[in-house]
Amino acid sequence: MSETKEQSLTIRPLAPDDLPSVIALDAAIQGHSRRTYVERRLAAALRDPALHVQFAVQHAGRLAGYILARVLQGEFGRTEASLRLELIGVRADARRLGAGGKLLEALAQWASRHGIHEIRTSAPWGDAPMLGWLRAMRFRLAPDIVLGMSVAQAPASEDPVVTLSQGRGFGQEADFGAPEANDHERMARGSAEVRPMTAADLQEILRVDRAITGRDRSEYIRARFDEALEDSTIHVSLVGRIDGAIVCFVMARADLGDFGRTQPAAVLDTIGVDPEYAHRGLGRALVSRLFEYVSQLQATRVETLVKVADLELLGFFQGIGFVPTQRLVFVRDTGAEG
């Protein structure tokens, strides 16, 4: 019986001609159409096939399911490539045949052949069927946390105005040596000119990233840069300039439906501030401006993923108002050697 089931399912690469079937199946699963989301996902894969992995499963001559993943190369300092599982959908009758598992296995085999050791994904903790499937597919909890913040609660670009309480002693003079009086740093905050990235910014962004990480992440940054410029309808990328030089940047993308999101979200993938300009509030100012732009993507939230061990980055995001979300992060080994 298992042999008959196995033979009845055929795995193949997802093709452009599959778009109508994928849209219809996704609508049947979700209960509403997400045509724009699916079209953008497939269009991005066609533009940059080296960074996207997509498979279809056929049963009885028809498309019975699909899986879409993306290669991650350097988000928040990761040194090794991984795959992010973004979308999977299987027809109800094909689920009983193990179509979802076959799709995931095809993804894992592709990753292993390309030297990628991990498949990563996230899901809402209240989605019991999805969590059960991930557990059955040998996923485990990853040491990461998803932080989020409502666009309506956008952080202020600067700290509140400094006010000094009345001094003590004779004359009640204000103590300008007190911590709250040291406003030179606060006056500098938000002083960068923030604007959308342009094609001419790449080399300066690479310079800033090297200064931060001490590594050459040209491939990763260039890929994010190209995506941002090619499709501004689902990407927001900003730079901050002081005295004509780029000193900070941020890259975010629209996430319109991955694994149980009920509302569109913008996902902040990368943020960087030149170490020479650290502790001047530039990161806060940059994120504040990002919130203004993501509303154009019809996003209601901004989310980001941070390693639980990265206390500095966690402190930064939580300091400007990000809080843990109800999404859990999972990882699975692919069996790649090395």
pTM higher than 0.75: yes
How large is the average pLDDT for residues 35-45?
Answer: 82
| Distance (Å, whole) CA 93 – CA 117 | 31
Same domain? For 111 and 153 the reply is: no
Same domain, 101 and 187: no
CATH code for position 45: 3.40.630.30
Residues 6+ positions from 169 with CB-CB distance below 8 Å = none
Angle, alpha carbons 24-231-297 (nearest 5°): 70
How far CA 153 is from CA of 101, 128, 150, 252, 330, in Å, comes to 40, 30, 5, 18, 28
Round to whole Å and give the CA distance between 305 and 76: 8
Query: Strand pairing partners for 144?
Result: 307
Same domain, 175 and 310: yes
Residue 38: count of CB within 10 angstroms of its CB: 24
More confident residue, 230 or 17: 17
Question: Which is higher by pLDDT, 249 or 7?
Answer: 249
Q: Evaluate whether residue 189 is within a structural domain.
A: yes
Split at pLDDT 50, 70, 90, the class of 205 is very high
Q: Based on the structure, what is the number of domains in the chain?
A: 2
DSSP state string for 27-59: HHHHSS--HHHHHHHHHHHHH-GGGEEEEEEEE
Identify whether residues 191 and 57 lie together within a single domain. Answer: no
pLDDT at 218 over 80: yes
Report the C-alpha gap between 20 and 38 in whole angstroms.
10
Asked whether residue 110 is domain-assigned, the answer is yes
User: 48: domain range?
Assistant: 2-116
